[in-house]
Amino acid sequence: MKLNIVPARTGLVWVKLGIKTFARQPLAMSGLFFMFMAMLSVASLLPFIGMALALALLPAATLGLMAATQEATKGKFPMPSILVSAFRAGQQRLRAMMVLGAIYAAGILALMGVSALIDGGQFASLYLVGGKITEEVVMQDRFQLAMWVAMALYLPLSLLFWHAPALVHWHGISPVKSLFFSFVACYKNFGAFTVFGLAWSGVFVLAVVFVALMASLLGNPMLATVAMFPVVLVILAMFFTSIYFSFRDSFSPAPDDMAADKP
């Protein structure tokens, strides 16, 4: 395994490939993403351990979407069973993925604990349990500070786990080493990932503006509210589709089961 240093413009290529690949298999990729969300939502409903379990399943579920994207690049229709690819790769890699999931859940809960020290747990409760968001709560200085602190702490955590599930699954790297290699890869390709993030932010903003404009032209403001939810879900599905390409281009040579023709 070798780390590739890619130019900053590659981040835009990842976005284009994510959208293009999604467009090749829109029903499959959107359906798998909805199943991905449903699986995590159902897990979170379990008493006592639900939220921790959902967080622990996130790396494995993300790997499933990456595997689905890999199938789509080969011109194949990804079946629903591909979402559990992480649990069908042998006992050793299954244990490694479970360890990775446990570390991720612990990391999220830890940063939420830090935010709770700031605002008494309001932001953490809203994030982990859910509830009604009121203007009074959001405008509180302590709530806003807790939110920004949590977001700042989540950035390095996300870099640690960005490539980790794929490294564990496709390259057989141990969980701790996969976190290290993932962070290094994101750091070395910081320009590409910055462009990647900015491009997806731009896609989201353009989608919001487009929906609002269409609602305005049709004279139906409620249309924007109704249409925005499915639009956001489709954009998120495209985003998760593009993650595979950031991994594929950041590491080489790829093992045989990672090899796929570029779209």
Structure tokens at 219: 């004279």
- Band of residue 45 on the pLDDT scale cut at 50, 70, 90: confident
3-class secondary structure per residue, 62-88: HHHHHHHHHHHHCCCCCCHHHHHHHHC
∠ CA 52-190-85, rounded to 5°: 40
Distances (CA, A) of 249 to 8, 72, 82, 190, 224: 12, 17, 22, 13, 37
Note the pLDDT of residue 257: 47
The yes-or-no verdict on residue 186 having pLDDT over 90 is yes
Q: Please give the residue that has the higher pLDDT: either 131 or 102.
A: 102
* From 64-68, 148-152, 219-223, the region with the lowest mean pLDDT: 219-223
Burial of 129 (0-12, 13-18, 19+ CB in 10 A): exposed
Please give the pLDDT value at position 260: 44
At residue 262, the pLDDT reads 47
Distance separating alpha carbons of residues 194 and 206, to the nearest angstrom: 18
Closest CA to 263 of 9, 26, 6, 75: 75
- pLDDT, residue 253, reads 61
pLDDT band, residue 229 (cuts 50/70/90) = confident
Taking Cα atoms as reference points, which of 245, 207, 248 lies closest to residue 227?
Answer: 207
> Distance (Å, rounded) from C-alpha 18 to C-alpha 91?
31
Confidence of residue 129 (pLDDT cuts 50, 70, 90): confident
194-206 residue pLDDT tens: 999 999 999 999 9
Tell me the average pLDDT across 121-144: 82
- Smallest CA-to-CA distance from 143 within 169, 161, 124 is with 124
The answer on pLDDT for 254 being more than 60 is no
Q: What is the pLDDT of residues 19-32, one digit of tens each?
A: 999 999 999 999 99
Domain ranges of the chain: 2-258
DSSP code at position 46: S
Q: Is the pLDDT of residue 259 over 90?
A: no
- Decide which of 217 and 180 is more confident: 180
Average pLDDT, the chain: 89
Query: What residues contact 77, with CB distance under 8 A and at least 6 apart?
Result: 25, 28, 71
| Alpha carbon separation from 156 to 71, 103, 164, 192 (Å, rounded) | 30, 14, 13, 16
